[in-house]
Amino acid sequence: MAASEIRAAIFIFLQSRTPPDLPGGPSPERSMTATQTSSDQTSSYQTSSYQTLGGLTVHKQVASLPYGQGTAALARRLDRQRGVLLSSSFEFPGRYTRLDMGFADPPVMIVSRGRSMEMRALNTRGKLLLGFIAPALKAMPELEALEVKPGRLVAQIRPSTERFAEEERSRQPSVFSVLRRLRDVFGHADEPHLGLYGAFGYDLVFQFEPVELRLPRAEDQRDLVLYLPDEVLVVDHMAGATTLHRYDFTVNGQSTEGMPRDTPADAFRPGINAQPAESDFGPGEYAAMVERARRAFERGDLFEVVLGQTFAAACSDAPSAVFDRLRKVNPAPYGALMNLGDGEFLVAASPEMFVRVEGKRIETCPISGTIRRGADALEDAENIRTLLNSAKEESELTMCTDVDRNDKSRVCVPGTVKIIGRRQIEMYSRLIHTVDHVEGTLLPERDALDGFLSHAWAVTVTGAPKSWAIRHVEAEERSARRWYGGA
């Protein structure tokens, strides 16, 4: 069998909470708290039931576990089972806190490529949920076709024949139309953890940016992989608390209660033959690409462009081991370990908030300006002074933030977009960054997905003007970006 593939990526994350346009919905009916006692520990759990906006009955159980329990075991479990672990191991007052959350064995998996989206049931619980999802999708005008098969739904999103203004780009037919529909039918204002988790690939931007694709795309490339879990582990390091959230669902009188939660294994398979490290550029070729970009700057075609280079090397270590080492040597606010199935794993540690939406507040933290850490506090201080005195680093961050503010202006109330932190210092294990903090208030008719799409993809991984930078990246890079630059 082919070896598995670990993609170690530094990429940006979407953090989205309760959709701001959802009505409150029916309040959960709380039942009495029960307590279970074992010989070695005491764990309490609370149960509740509620109905989602789409009419799905959800039965929820929240168990309190000993602090810190479960994260390491979950990471090892992801070496063989599909799932996601998100980890923040960095603190910044008012911005980042240490938190772990994740799951394995989700009942439903969502995969898209181009304008085709497939929803797969990974166990009998998932099959019951697909029976709830199918009727909700059938009436969608954005769909060209919906194929219903045992354990699978395949949706074809119709291509847009209309011209959309920049302010409306997030509402044209796309795979996000389906995600918005799923959000609506599963949504409940008081539910913070039941949702879709996974990876958004770079190529999703081409559903909104009409760019001719020059680079070949591998047959196994997927633009999006998301999971709907029925069990979520949450470790709040600030509160010193660990909770396990378990969900059962009732569809047309049939409940998932008692159905097994296991799913088929998709285990990491290390390569048998070690391969030499390789790059998609030969010696001097990347520098030549940079020179071509400089000529584009001189012509006025671009102000900035972020050009990538892909490196590959054989890896025999399990994904959880790679993730653990990365988290130790590079603590970051946005870390991830994902088993995406089909032998593909993502390991990530990113310092950059892409988009965060809470209620109607949308915020971002563009990063531009970097210098190495010093050997001691005195050298750190000297390096910070050098960084802050750099006109080049200041102008680059200013440009990135200007583009970011324009992105927000498409979906925010006029006059609400503002910089609340300018050239703030964030210190990581090896690097020091300058960061701006930008916020705005979403328009009443806009939601978190609009905020996400108005920023796709961040200027700090594409360039400016953004649409022209995306074209330049496609014309100049050697490999499709896949997950790099996504969220």
Q: pLDDT, tens digit, for every residue of 127-155?
A: 999 999 999 999 899 999 999 999 999 99
Average pLDDT over every residue of 406-415: 95
- For the cut 90, the answer to whether the pLDDT of residue 170 exceeds it is no
Instruction: Specify the pLDDT at position 3.
Output: 52
Residue 24: predicted pLDDT: 37
**297 pLDDT higher than 60:** yes
Taking residues 10-25, report their average pLDDT: 39
Render pLDDT for 353-368 as a digit per residue (tens, 0 to 9).
889 999 999 999 999 9
For residue 136, give both structure tokens: 């909700």
The predicted structure's pLDDT at residue 276: 66
User: Taking phi first (over 0 means left), then psi (-120 to 50 degrees means alpha), and beta for anything else, what does residue 259 get?
Assistant: beta
Q: How confident is the model at residue 346 (pLDDT cuts 50, 70, 90)?
A: very high
pLDDT value of residue 38: 37
In this prediction, residue 21 has a pLDDT band, given cuts at 50, 70 and 90, of: very low
- Is residue 176 scored above 50 in pLDDT? yes
- Nearest residue to 407 (alpha-carbon basis) of 364, 350, 470, 351: 364
Question: Which position has the higher pLDDT, 335 or 38?
Answer: 335
- Domains of the chain, CATH where assigned: 5-274+314-351 (3.60.120.10)
| Pairwise pLDDT comparison (27 vs 347), residue with the higher score | 347
Average pLDDT, stretch 27-34? 36
pLDDT value at 290 more than 90: yes
Question: Is the confidence at residue 29, as pLDDT, over 80?
Answer: no
What are the backbone angles phi and psi of residue 37, rounded to the nearest 5°? -125, 130
Mean pLDDT of 200-206: 95
- pLDDT tens digits along 363-385: 999 999 999 999 999 999 999 99
Which of 6-15, 33-42, 100-109, 246-255 is predicted least confidently?
Answer: 33-42
**Structure confidence at residue 450 as a pLDDT band (50, 70, 90):** very high
Q: Percent of the chain scored above 70 by pLDDT?
A: 90
Arithmetic mean of pLDDT, 438-449: 96
Interval 192-198 mean pLDDT: 94
Confidence of residue 26 (pLDDT cuts 50, 70, 90): very low
| Mean pLDDT confidence for 239-262 | 94
Distance CA 295, CA 261 (A): 57
What's the whole-number mean pLDDT along residues 181-196? 92
pLDDT at 178: 96
User: In the predicted model, is pLDDT for residue 274 greater than 80?
Assistant: no
The mean pLDDT value for 443-461 works out to: 93
Residue 413: the pLDDT is: 97
pTM over 0.95: no
Q: Is the pLDDT of residue 9 over 70?
A: no
> What is the residue type of 281?
F
Q: What is the dihedral sign for C-alpha 33, 37, 43, 47?
A: negative
Lowest mean pLDDT among 32-36, 38-42, 120-124, 196-200: 32-36
